[in-house]
Chain A
């Protein structure tokens, strides 16, 4: 089946199987390997990408369902020669260990940033919003610090 995705800003028309998962289209068809697959059942969130600005599980979405949608992966959220503020914050605040969950968290935080109402959240709300992605390495403190630096910058 033919579908058109606006993938990281570029319109891409693909011929895909109707049962093909978005994560497989990205990883296996298009070699966009920043999107990681951790559980294939929507729990771990490693495969989170942005679908029309909203964080979504690429392991649960079928590619045909995304026809006409804007799909953004970490490749598209990464500046060519620098790091985005969120990427810098992740490096600086010890939010990265093995790196497998990192793309998922960066997508979630970018979604929250675009949504725009995180500035006034308390710690518990911020942690709850970040609880859509699992990290097995860091214990989350670094990730929460980095998210706070991005979403609640102190002037």
Chain B
């Protein structure tokens, strides 16, 4: 089925008419507008705040500073709490001290945003400057400025993996690679910045909070905890979300602040983040340094790995903690057999905006390191880089395979996909052609990178083991309405990827209904069952879909029992076919789902012991992660000014069963675009004193249509044995291997001698501009 034959996504039908409803589109009577005054200092004592003049301005309804918030609210929750992790009593407004430019210092609520901004300009804050530290390397040094005086150093947390005799392996190795690989800080940059609207909810003697988030139940828990309210008095709604990419996966202080203001003023209060603000107030990602050594024997078989993943956590340990470094550590072996390893992952605080999740979440960073190192080893051994990977990839016959860090590679045909990709790309011919071009003076080259992606995040025991303070399950409720159509209530939260369309399709398939008969309801804690983790970690279709299938099968079971009763038949002799249950030997003995739903709700003639209604739910907890995988191949040319022109990309991947191939394609190509940004030019820079240099979209390059190379996709579908539909996630695949594939291609292009572009740092433009 080609993409154009699939039923249209209902959300797309709304969006093209301009009928999406994002938080900024929600209008409530008597709504007030908030502005947040933020610190212009990277590190300073908050010595005094004078709000008198601002507070007396006409139209200003509320002015709050950190002193009030510290007394009136509990600290922001820590969602990921690794063993030994350090604490910070972070609140939604700074008190006593600011630790990054952009940290909220005061909240102003007024009749209009304009008045609130004007009032903010009249607030006088006296800052007592402190020395600042912006890089993780500097923050690790013993004499570094310290952010939290009750910590012995700036380290948030660390984790280690030690398996086998690594020292011996390196001692006996025929080839050793050593490198330091840097992925700079970058912004997720959803086109809809963040937005929060909080309103009193008299009916529940509490609050309703609209927020652009990936995790409504986590926001509810955070708001309730910070405001010291029980969770049943807080309702959180994530309406349409205009992109997220991890930026909206954590809870934010602004959610607490708006809830606090709405409760205090007994009026709706809304805050719309502006773009300038978002560069310092929304969590960025990457900013990791991976130090990696590989030991190979003479045949190119990997013997051991030493790795260190250092994350610049920014100023606060909250939100995702050092999760991206931890994930990077766990994922360092990737799809390879690694007999021995020593890995350390850690995060340190600096006077920069706190980092959080961004698409890839540690995986592009370590992939860039490992795949760059593999290419270096291949060059030293003088073998084809694809062949070196072939010798070390886990074989299909070994699946499921427990990787050396404990990660289970659930399924996959790594060698088959690699060979398919090489053939489709014309790898050998392209290698020869670009070599000829190089002899002619054109610096062109080809590169590849193999990747694995950890998807279908869960399992709850894994989350618990590593300190993630939410279950990894998802809950889905399937309710057949009395008229015979279906409402699905999912814990997953669409953010543009279209997971609701995949869920509708799975439900339609299970219940043999037309897809028009299914509506998927999401993003509302008042109607959707509790899901701790919601959407992130590429789990929407995999985990959310599995929960849906479980619930739909319970509905199906009940339909069969009810039909057996009404048809006076044996349930074992009945089949669910085309929207009805019928006898397998006599299709005229049939009841449609509509008939059965009416019978279930009239409840006048039910089998003994059957509950009225037709409404089932399932909590699905994944038994393992689903490990998607693939390989990116690309061809580049280096212009005389060292600008990298990507001529083409072939992306081969396997995410198990593809429920909606159009959504998979959209995820892969969209991911590749962000991978190109990661590889080539996206970076958030700071001055040494902690002043951000990138606070405007004019200073932050993202790919536009003309910047994208031709992309060809190929795929295999190897179902995961751990999920009823065999589907794994694909949300982050596209982004993971692109930095390494491009860097490897540029190295190939520079192999004729002139190695003028440094390749140890992405974006590669960093090597062009030098330091900073």
- A residues adjacent to B (C-beta < 8 A): 27, 31, 33-41, 43-44, 46, 73-75, 78, 83, 87, 90-94, 96-103, 106, 124, 127-128, 130-144
- Could you name 24 residue pairs across A and B whose Cβ atoms are closer than 8 Å? A36-B22, A43-B697, A44-B191, A44-B697, A93-B3, A94-B665, A94-B666, A98-B241, A99-B11, A99-B12, A99-B14, A100-B242, A100-B496, A102-B18, A103-B18, A131-B704, A134-B702, A136-B190, A136-B674, A136-B702, A139-B670, A139-B671, A139-B734, A140-B673
Q: Is the CB of B497 within 8 A of A141?
A: no
Contact of B15 among A75, A102, A127, A131 (CB under 8 A): A102
B175 CB to closest chain A CB (Å) equals 37
Q: Contact flags (1/0) for B486-529 with A, using CB distance below 8 Å?
A: 00000000011110000000000000000000000000000000
Q: List 12 extra interface pairs beyond A73-B18, A100-B190, A127-B705, CB under 8 A.
A: A27-B24, A38-B191, A39-B275, A40-B275, A44-B275, A44-B697, A83-B17, A93-B4, A97-B497, A97-B670, A98-B495, A100-B192
In the complex, the chain A residue whose C-beta lies closest to that of B193 is: A38
B726 beta carbon closer than 8 Å to chain A: no
B59 CB to closest chain A CB (Å) equals 14
Q: Is the CB of B666 within 8 A of A38?
A: no
Q: Is the CB of A124 within 8 A of B191?
A: no
B437 beta carbon closer than 8 Å to chain A: no
B30 beta carbon closer than 8 Å to chain A: no
The CA of A102 and the CA of B240, in the complex, are separated in Å by 13
- CB interface residues, B 230-275, toward A, < 8 Å: 240-243, 245, 274-275
Contact of A38 among B15, B241, B275, B497 (CB under 8 A): B275
The CA of A103 and the CA of B534, in the complex, are separated in Å by 28
Q: What is the number of residues of chain B that contact chain A, defined by CB distance less than 8 Å?
A: 57
B189 CB to closest chain A CB (Å) equals 6
Contact of B20 among A83, A100, A106, A130 (CB under 8 A): A100
A126 CB to closest chain B CB (Å) equals 8
The CA of A151 and the CA of B189, in the complex, are separated in Å by 30
The binding surface of chain A is classed by DSSP as: loop
Known: A96-B12, A100-B20. A142 touches B240 (CB 8 A): no
Please name all residues of chain A whose beta carbon is closer than 8 Å to the beta carbon of B171 when the two chains form the complex: none
Known: A83-B13, A127-B706. A33 touches B191 (CB 8 A): no
Q: Is the CB of A138 within 8 A of B670?
A: yes
Please name all residues of chain B whose beta carbon is closer than 8 Å to the beta carbon of A46 when the two chains form the complex: 191
In the complex, the chain A residue whose C-beta lies closest to that of B672 is: A139
In the complex, the chain B residue whose C-beta lies closest to that of A31 is: B27
B111 beta carbon closer than 8 Å to chain A: no
The 4 closest A-B pairs by CB, nearest first: A34-B18, A98-B496, A99-B15, A100-B242
Q: Contact flags (1/0) for B324-350 with A, using CB distance below 8 Å?
A: 000000000000000000000000000
The CA of A96 and the CA of B16, in the complex, are separated in Å by 8
- CB interface residues, B 663-693, toward A, < 8 Å: 665-666, 669-674
Q: Is the CB of B243 within 8 A of A136?
A: yes
B605 beta carbon closer than 8 Å to chain A: no
Please name all residues of chain B whose beta carbon is closer than 8 Å to the beta carbon of A94 when the two chains form the complex: 3, 662, 665-666
B708 beta carbon closer than 8 Å to chain A: yes
B483 beta carbon closer than 8 Å to chain A: no
In the complex, the chain B residue whose C-beta lies closest to that of A37 is: B24
The CA of A98 and the CA of B726, in the complex, are separated in Å by 26
Contact of A41 among B240, B697, B708 (CB under 8 A): B697
In the complex, the chain B residue whose C-beta lies closest to that of A20 is: B114
- B residues adjacent to A (C-beta < 8 A): 3-4, 8-9, 11-22, 24-25, 27, 189-193, 240-243, 245, 274-276, 495-498, 662, 665-666, 669-674, 696-698, 702-708, 711, 734
The CA of A73 and the CA of B19, in the complex, are separated in Å by 12
In the complex, the chain A residue whose C-beta lies closest to that of B245 is: A136
Q: Is the CB of B706 within 8 A of A128?
A: yes
Q: Is the CB of B16 within 8 A of A87?
A: yes
Please name all residues of chain A whose beta carbon is closer than 8 Å to the beta carbon of B276 when the two chains form the complex: 40-41
A109 CB to closest chain B CB (Å) equals 11
A153 CB to closest chain B CB (Å) equals 15
Please name all residues of chain A whose beta carbon is closer than 8 Å to the beta carbon of B707 when the two chains form the complex: 131
The binding surface of chain B is classed by DSSP as: loop
Residue among A74, A75, A100 with max Cβ neighbours from chain B (10 Å): A100
B282 CB to closest chain A CB (Å) equals 13
Q: Is the CB of B697 within 8 A of A39?
A: yes
B723 CB to closest chain A CB (Å) equals 24
The CA of A106 and the CA of B465, in the complex, are separated in Å by 48
Q: Is the CB of B274 within 8 A of A40?
A: yes
Known: A124-B706, A128-B706. A96 touches B189 (CB 8 A): no
Q: Is the CB of A33 within 8 A of B275?
A: no
Contact of A99 among B4, B24, B240, B702 (CB under 8 A): B240
A124 CB to closest chain B CB (Å) equals 7
Residue among A34, A132, A140, A142 with max Cβ neighbours from chain B (10 Å): A140
Please name all residues of chain B whose beta carbon is closer than 8 Å to the beta carbon of A133 when the two chains form the complex: 704
B280 CB to closest chain A CB (Å) equals 15
Residue among A34, A40, A94, A134 with max Cβ neighbours from chain B (10 Å): A94
The CA of A102 and the CA of B18, in the complex, are separated in Å by 8
Please name all residues of chain A whose beta carbon is closer than 8 Å to the beta carbon of B3 when the two chains form the complex: 93-94
A146 CB to closest chain B CB (Å) equals 10
Q: Is the CB of B240 within 8 A of A98?
A: yes
Contact of B16 among A83, A98, A124, A139 (CB under 8 A): A83
The CA of A87 and the CA of B8, in the complex, are separated in Å by 12
Please name all residues of chain B whose beta carbon is closer than 8 Å to the beta carbon of A130 when the two chains form the complex: 704-706
The CA of A90 and the CA of B9, in the complex, are separated in Å by 11
The CA of A154 and the CA of B696, in the complex, are separated in Å by 41
Q: Is the CB of B705 within 8 A of A140?
A: yes
In the complex, the chain A residue whose C-beta lies closest to that of B275 is: A39
A121 CB to closest chain B CB (Å) equals 12
Please name all residues of chain B whose beta carbon is closer than 8 Å to the beta carbon of A43 when the two chains form the complex: 696-698
Please name all residues of chain A whose beta carbon is closer than 8 Å to the beta carbon of B498 when the two chains form the complex: 97
Contact of B18 among A74, A127, A142 (CB under 8 A): A74
Please name all residues of chain B whose beta carbon is closer than 8 Å to the beta carbon of A139 when the two chains form the complex: 666, 669-673, 703, 708, 711, 734
Please name all residues of chain A whose beta carbon is closer than 8 Å to the beta carbon of B11 when the two chains form the complex: 96, 99
In the complex, the chain A residue whose C-beta lies closest to that of B663 is: A94
Q: Is the CB of B20 within 8 A of A99?
A: yes
Please name all residues of chain B whose beta carbon is closer than 8 Å to the beta carbon of A37 when the two chains form the complex: 24
In the complex, the chain A residue whose C-beta lies closest to that of B33 is: A28
The CA of A130 and the CA of B242, in the complex, are separated in Å by 20
Q: Is the CB of A134 within 8 A of B240?
A: no
Q: Is the CB of A41 within 8 A of B698?
A: yes
B569 CB to closest chain A CB (Å) equals 43
The CA of A132 and the CA of B706, in the complex, are separated in Å by 10
Known: A137-B243, A140-B673. A97 touches B192 (CB 8 A): no
The CA of A72 and the CA of B21, in the complex, are separated in Å by 20
Q: Is the CB of B666 within 8 A of A138?
A: yes
Please name all residues of chain B whose beta carbon is closer than 8 Å to the beta carbon of A39 when the two chains form the complex: 275, 697
